[in-house]
Amino acid sequence: MPDPIEVRKVPIESVTDASGLSRLIADGVIEADRVLAVVGKTEGNGGVNDYTRILADRAFREVLAEHGHPAPDSVPLVWSGGTDGVLSPHATIFATTADAPPSEEPRLSVGVAMSEVILPEDIGRPAMVEKVAAGVREAMKIAGIDDPRDVHYVQTKTPLLTLATITDAKSRGQDTAIEETGPSMDLSNSTTALGIAVALGEIDMPRADQIHKDLSLYSSVASCSSGVELDRAQIVLVGNVRGIGGRYRIGHSVMKDALDADGIWEAIRDSGLPLPERPHPSDLGGRLVNVFMKCEADPSGRVRGRRNIMLDDSDVHWHRQIKATVGGVAASVTGDPAVFVSVAAVHQGPSGGGPVAAIADLA
C-alpha cells in the first residue's frame, strides 16, 4: 500500500518565488524528502520561449535542496506557462505523509513516473503514444491503482520540437512530423493524451493518421503540457485508493464547452464534497484544494451557436484568449483565481471543451 498524501496549494508572488513551498516545510506541514511532485502555473507567455517555467523550476528545486531533499532534480515539476486574464501564478504540491487519519473510504494516491526518452521524430507519431502509455501504466502501479476507473487526473509534461531537435533528427537521417516549433506544442500534447487514453483503456491504439486529427478520440482525465526543459514524459498520475488513509479525495468530469461551469461543479461533486442543486463558491467552505483543467478553442469557431473570432485573430493568439475565458469561468466557480488552466487540449476531453479534475479536503 502506498503512503497517504498531503496536498497543498501555494501562491507564487514573483517569477522565482518558492517561499510558499519553503514555509510548508519550515512549518512541518510537509517534509522536503517526501515531496512527490509539483504542478504549477507560471506567468510567462506559455510559448516555446516561455522561460518562466525554467525559472520556477530552478527556484523550487533549490528550496528542496536547501531543506535536505536527497535528489531534488528527480522530482517532477510540471509547469504550465501563461496566467492570462484573472489566472494567478501558483503551485500545487503533492507529498507523502506519515501523519494521516485512517480511512477505508477512497483517498488520494499519487504515482510518479518517467517515460523512455521521446525522440524528436517520435512526436506526433505512434511511437510517442506507446512510450507515454507504458509510463502511465508504471505510474498506476506506483500509485497502487489497479482499476483505471480510479484514475481521475494524469498531468504530463513532454518535449516539444525546437530548431535544435529538428536538426538533430535530420542529422540522424530521421524526419519530424512537422517542422514548426510553435504548433509542435499542441501536437506533443495531443499525442501524449492518446497515450494516456490507451493506457487507461479509454481508446484502442490509434492509427498514425488519427493523431491530432480524429477528435472523437480523447481521454477524460488527461492534462498534457509540453516545453523545452525535458526529453521524456514526466507523468503525475492522481487517483483514489481505498485503505490508504488521508484527508483528500479527487474527482473528475469534463467541460463540454468553454462556458460549462456545470462541468466544473460536477468534478467537485465527484471529489466527495456535498453541494446543493445550485451551488455557490461559499458552499465550498475552504475545502477545495484546487481544480485542474484543459481548454481548447472550438474548431467550429462557435460557442453555443455564437460565432467568435479567436481562431481568426492575428493580434492575440487563441491560446491566450481561451485560457483567459476558461480561467474566468473556473474562478467564478471556485471563488479563487489560482486555478490550473492549461491550453492545447486536442484529444483531452471533448472537442471545444476539456477535462476537469478537483481535489477536496474531506477532513
Catalytic center residues: 157, 225
189 known ligand binder: yes
Residues contacting 211, CB < 8 A, separation 6+: 124, 125, 126, 129, 187, 190, 191, 194
226 known ligand binder: yes
353 known ligand binder: yes
345 known ligand binder: yes
253 known ligand binder: no
DSSP H/E element including 294: strand 288-295
Which residues partner with 358 through β-bridges? Answer: 251, 291
d(CA 322, CA 329): 11
Region of residue 286 (left: phi > 0; alpha: psi -120 to 50; beta: else): left
349 known ligand binder: yes
342 known ligand binder: yes
Query: DSSP assignment, residue 272?
Result: T
Of 339, 362, 354, 357, residue with least CA distance to 86: 339
296 known ligand binder: yes
Q: What is the SS3 assignment for 201?
A: coil
Residues contacting 351, CB < 8 A, separation 6+: 215, 218, 296, 298, 299
81 known ligand binder: yes
47 known ligand binder: no
80 known ligand binder: yes
String of DSSP letters for 310-331: GGG-SSS-HHHHHHHHHHHHHH
Residue ranges at the known binding site for Mg(2+): 296, 345, 348-350, 353
Residue ranges at the known binding site for substrate: 53, 80-81, 189, 225-226, 323, 342-343
Residue ranges at the known binding site: 53, 80-81, 189, 225-226, 296, 323, 342-343, 345, 348-350, 353
